[in-house]
Structure 1
Amino acid sequence: SIEETSATMEEMSASIKQTAENAREANKLAQNTKGIAESGSTVMGDTITAMDEINKSSSKIANISNVIEEIAFQTNLLALNAAVEAARAGEHGKGFAVVASEIRNLAQRASQSAKEITGLIEDSSEKTGRGVQLAQELSKKLDDIGISVKKVADLMDEVAAAAGEQASGINQVNSAITQIDQATQQNASLVEETSASAEELAAQAKELLNLISFFKVDEETSVERESRPRIAAAKKIARPSASRETARTSAHASARGGEMSMTSVASGEKTNGGFEEF
């Protein structure tokens, strides 16, 4: 029925409105996710920049370590030369020989430490480079996530807009159904009024027919009353006339019988006479 259809359309409208609201909420979440992804991408960019700076600093430290190692090597050579010169000096160069030996030991330790620092810096630079590469890949993934989230947000906008249009269309259809329902109810009222008028007209027509039949019966009765004396008088007049007509018919028949008898006699005489002549 129209009421059930209207109720169904209202339910559909409410469902579509809820879908549009959910789409808008999903759009907000997508926008937030997009913002987070963009923030993460920015952080990763900053991290990559920091790692690049660390890598550059490590390279500088490695260069400094190389310089220290070179200085240690030169110091070691100087200590060796000092030890040789102290040996040449004999007893006067023993103290200088001890100092030269200590300087040589320090130079060797500095050279060893510089080598270790260089190794650590190289390992740190390698790991930093790997971290920079991973950070760049992660930044690219975050950029891709941001692009995908933007597409999802755009689709959610389209879904929300389409749901809004559908809800508007269903509201228009529901309004039209309501108007049709009102028109149907008005038509039903008019039909009821027409039916009542028809019944009233039928009752009036029946009453008129009853009145007409009553007038016909009275008219026929009055005609019969007026015609009865005339019919009786006509019957009385017709009876003597019929008696006289019967007598007249009998006399005429008797006269014709006599004539026939005389004719027969005359004929017989003529016949007998004939026979006699023969």
Structure 2
Amino acid sequence: MNMKKFSLIRSMIAFFLFSEILFVIFDFFVVYPFLGLPFNMVLRGMGPAVAIMLSVFVIVGFFIRKFLKPICTLADKTVLGSRLTPEERVSFLKREAFVNRFLMLVNIIGFMVVTPIAIVATMFADGVLRWSTVRFNIVVVAVGPVLGILQKEYFSFIMRKIKEKISLQEFQLLDKPANLRKRSVAMIIAFTLSISLNFTMVILSQNEVLSGVDHIAIKLNPEFKESYTNEYREFYLAAEQSTDPVLKEKAQAFIKKVNAEYPTNNMIFAVLSFGFMAVLWFILGVWIFNLSSHLQGINARLRDIVNLEGDLSHFLVKTTDDDIGELQVLINKLILNLNGMFLSIFKIARSLIDQTRQEQSNVEELMRSNEEIQTLTQEVSKEVGQQVEVSKTTSGFIKDLVNIIEDNILKIRRQSAMIKNTSDSFAAFAMSMNSLTQSADKASDFGKRLTVSAEEGAKSITDMNSAIENIRSSGMSISDITETIYSIADEINIMAMNAAIEAAHAGDFGAGFAVVASEIRSLSENTSSQTTEIAELLNSMTKQIETLVARAKGMSQAMQGIQDAVNSTNKLVREIEQAAVENREKSSSSGDEMRQVMQITDSITQNLEDQAAGNKKLVSSVSTLEGSTVKIDEVGKHQENYFTALSDVFEHIYRYFMSMSDQLEALDDSLGNLKLVDPNMLNHEQHAEVKLKD
């Protein structure tokens, strides 16, 4: 036989036989003589009863061995490294409950049945029913529940040790658990009844002590001399019937001696009764100690749980089927639920740490992108500022050019009038020719200056076109980066929503993470909103730049027209100058040439008027360009301020993620200090609980 089996079965059978035999010895050979039967008669008459009782005890011991063998087999299976299946766990617990009920029934019902059988056997052996035997039967039946409680508590004690060794925990509550208060009241009643019956039943009258017999035996058969001692009978009769003074004196002396010894006998009885009561209270103390050990085990596990580095890797063993056992099961379910909850929190914390690190990386990328945008925006603002200065210079130059052209138009018109007047007077014509020559010289000089100014204006417009194109290219780059920021903000918003969902799954332990997710989501929405504003500003700036590009092209074409007109004017002025010289040298043939000069003058006037109309458009375009450039400069400054504020926001978000990452790392370290069960074991216990419910 396996050693562990033999140890469990042997210890339980040994305790059962020891407690029952001790009870038989104490009641049959200590209590029974004090119930009125002489000790020598107890030795002669109790043999059959003791034999029957011992036979019953041995038979019950065999049954206990049979009931314990399956329990030992299942326990040995776990010692060898195997785990009990849900069905085997149910079988183990059912057999344990059956043995508990069996021990109580044996001591309650068994004594109620076996003891009368033993008494009947004794009565047939003696031929008489003694009052002491009736009293003894009552005492034995009253002591039976006490023995059952004692054996049940011992069995619960050794079964608790076995459950702890094989790690057998229970997670299923009973539908109708035993009530600890009722159980305690029943035990107190049983103890009180047993003690009271022993005290009341052992009180003997002086006549019974003197005669050595009990009244029932005398009344049933006064001649039955074996029911009392001959010595007591002799002196009892002598005291009642003798007329001999000596004999009477002798009898009285003996009665006096008995009366003197009566207190001593009562003292001995009191000591024995106190010893019996001490045994009963010892049994009660064992039960209380066992109850205290259950509570101490519960307190120890609760201390482990509430510790900062709580130990949730062990469960309690259910030791009783009453309120304490239900409390142990509830604590096991609490430990099981705490394990599941902390495992979920641990997973959520790990996920949040990973997400936080990813968000930190995204924020760092956003900060780098924002710095690039800021640098690019500053460069654009610088170029726009330069373009504003160029626009102002170009605008002033063009306005001066327009004023010069208008003055030329007036002068040429006056010159044309003077040329017309030369046809009436040669002298006037000669003077006009001189004036024309001088005007032609001035016009030639002005034409040269106008040519240089037109070339500088064309170059300025070309530079302005190049700067506008650079602004347009920079605006496109900013638009692309803005799209990237919007996309990243949208991803942050989605991650924040996922984090909020995960925090909701964690319940109260995830409330802090829900606040974090809400703040991240708010920051993401703010970033998206501000990015949208940047996109709108960029779109507006792009439209204005496109308008500027179109108008700059018109200005370029107008300047080209001005250059062409100036070149044509210079050519005509040179022709006028040449014609004037020829007219001055050949005044006799000036009629035809004067008409030619007038035609040329009319052509110049027409060209200058056309140029004046173009100049008005050019002035309008330059004014619009100057206003648009100023607006672009204002947008650039606003955009620069915005990106500076956005950089501060990103810095705040980055510090926030750093703080949250540190807190999550601290939470991860705290959770890492907890001692939890193996997740595989957790799944197994939950599966076993479902099986037990089924």
* 1:65 corresponds to 2:482: yes
* 1:143 corresponds to 2:560: yes
The amino acid that maps onto 2:525 is Q
Residue deviations 1:42-97 (CA, integer Å, cap 9, x gap): 22221121111111111111111111100100000110111111111222221111
Q: Identify the residue that residue 18 of structure 1 maps to in structure 2.
A: 435
Within 2, Cα distance between the matches of 1:91 and 1:10? 114
**Aligned pair partner of 2:466 in 32, 41, 49:** 49
The alpha-carbon distance between structure 1 residues 11 and 116, as it changes in their structure 2 partners (threshold 3 A), is: closer
| 1:13 Cα deviation after fit | 4.3
* Contact in 2 for aligned 1:45/1:136 (Cα 8 Å): no
Q: How does 1:126-205 map to 2 (within 5 A)?
A: 126-170=543-587
Q: Identify the residue that residue 124 of structure 1 maps to in structure 2.
A: 541
Residue deviations 1:6-31 (CA, integer Å, cap 9, x gap): xx977754442221111111122222
Residue deviations 1:160-191 (CA, integer Å, cap 9, x gap): 012112223359xxxxxxxxxxxxxxxxxxxx
* Contact in 2 for aligned 1:40/1:139 (Cα 8 Å): no
**Aligned pair partner of 2:524 in 97, 107, 132:** 107
Q: Identify the residue that residue 37 of structure 1 maps to in structure 2.
A: 454
Within 1, Cα distance between the matches of 2:472 and 2:587? 64
Within 1, Cα distance between the matches of 2:477 and 2:428? 72
Q: Identify the residue that residue 93 of structure 1 maps to in structure 2.
A: 510
The amino acid that maps onto 1:126 is K
Q: Which structure has the higher relative contact order (CA within 8 Å, separation 6+)?
A: 1
What SS does the corresponding residue of 2:586 show, helix, strand or coil?
A: helix
**Aligned pair partner of 1:76 in 472, 490, 493:** 493
Within 1, Cα distance between the matches of 2:573 and 2:509? 94
| Unaligned 5+ runs, structure 2 | 1-424, 589-694
Within 2, Cα distance between the matches of 1:86 and 1:12? 103
Query: Which range moved further: 130-139 or 35-44?
Result: 35-44
Within 2, Cα distance between the matches of 1:113 and 1:82? 23
The alpha-carbon distance between structure 1 residues 131 and 85, as it changes in their structure 2 partners (threshold 3 A), is: same
The alpha-carbon distance between structure 1 residues 117 and 9, as it changes in their structure 2 partners (threshold 3 A), is: closer
* Contact in 2 for aligned 1:38/1:143 (Cα 8 Å): no
| 1:120 Cα deviation after fit | 1.3
What SS does the corresponding residue of 2:447 show, helix, strand or coil?
A: helix
| Unaligned 5+ runs, structure 1 | 1-7, 172-278
The two structures, once aligned, show a CA RMSD in angstroms of: 2.3
Within 1, Cα distance between the matches of 2:514 and 2:575? 89
Residue deviations 1:115-153 (CA, integer Å, cap 9, x gap): 111111111101110111011101101110110111011
Within 1, Cα distance between the matches of 2:569 and 2:491? 66
The amino acid that maps onto 1:164 is V
The amino acid that maps onto 2:575 is E
What SS does the corresponding residue of 1:136 show, helix, strand or coil?
A: helix
Within 2, Cα distance between the matches of 1:82 and 1:158? 86
Within 2, Cα distance between the matches of 1:152 and 1:23? 11
User: Structure 1 vs Structure 2: percent identity of aligned residues?
Assistant: 31
Within 2, Cα distance between the matches of 1:11 and 1:133? 51
What SS does the corresponding residue of 1:145 show, helix, strand or coil?
A: helix
The amino acid that maps onto 1:75 is I
Within 2, Cα distance between the matches of 1:15 and 1:42? 38
The alpha-carbon distance between structure 1 residues 10 and 40, as it changes in their structure 2 partners (threshold 3 A), is: same
Within 2, Cα distance between the matches of 1:60 and 1:142? 31
Within 1, Cα distance between the matches of 2:429 and 2:544? 59
The alpha-carbon distance between structure 1 residues 129 and 11, as it changes in their structure 2 partners (threshold 3 A), is: closer
Within 1, Cα distance between the matches of 2:553 and 2:448? 23
What SS does the corresponding residue of 2:567 show, helix, strand or coil?
A: helix
TM-score of the pair, normalised by structure 2: 0.23
The amino acid that maps onto 1:161 is Q
Within 2, Cα distance between the matches of 1:31 and 1:90? 87
Within 2, Cα distance between the matches of 1:64 and 1:126? 18
Q: Identify the residue that residue 191 of structure 1 maps to in structure 2.
A: none
Within 2, Cα distance between the matches of 1:62 and 1:41? 31
